[in-house]
Structures are given as C-alpha cells and as structure tokens.
Amino acid sequence: MSTITHVLLAIVLTLFLAAQARSFVFVMRCRRSEPNARRRRSDVLWTSIPLLIVLALAARSWVAAFDLERAASAAVSTVVPATGTPPR
C-alpha cells in the first residue's frame, strides 16, 4: 500500500476511535446511573474490546504511514565494515 493510503486509513481509524471512545464513556456513565443494574466485570471487558481493536489498528496504521518499523530496524543493523576488508 502507498503512504497516502496508510495516512488516510490512519486518519479515518483515529476519528472512528474518538467516536467509539465517546460512546464507551456514555455507556459507562449510563451503567453507573442505574442503581438496580447487575454489574459484572466481564461487561466492561466486552464493552472495551471493540475500542481496543480499533486502537491497535489505528496505531498500526500510523506506524506504517511513517514507516517507523523500517527506520528502527535500519538504526539497529548499521554495520560499518573494517577498513581493508573487501565488500561482500
């Protein structure tokens, strides 16, 4: 995929993440306002799973857009050959 495609995908996913986070906060406030509701810890987990998935996808898109993986691996694998040795 081209860089512009990664940037557009990252922007769309980030905007979707913001909308999803607002919805998550709304759901949690509504749950807190109901005194008779059964509250289980697994409800919070199941409500936050879509938010975590979009967060991971948006982060991956931003990394791909700015090509951070290649820059990090290039910085680690810089080997300077000794003088007088023939190139491989």
Query: Which residues, in sequence order, are CB contacts of 50 under 8 Å at separation 6+?
Result: 20
How many domains does the structure of the chain reveal? Answer: 1
- State what percent of residues in the chain have pLDDT above 70: 74
- pLDDT tens sequence across 34-59: 777 677 777 788 888 888 999 999 99
Token pair for 28: 């949690």
- State what percent of residues in the chain have pLDDT above 90: 17
Q: Is residue 34 part of a domain?
A: yes
Give the pLDDT score at 82. Answer: 62
Q: Is residue 20 part of a domain?
A: yes
Q: Is residue 81 part of a domain?
A: no
> Count of CB atoms within 10 A of residue 61's CB?
21
Domain housing 23: 3-64
Q: Is residue 87 part of a domain?
A: no
Give the pLDDT band (50/70/90) at residue 75: low
Q: Is residue 88 part of a domain?
A: no
Give the pLDDT score at 77. Answer: 57
Q: Is residue 82 part of a domain?
A: no
Q: Is residue 58 part of a domain?
A: yes
Give the pLDDT score at 12. Answer: 93
The DSSP call for residue 79 is: -
Q: Is residue 77 part of a domain?
A: no
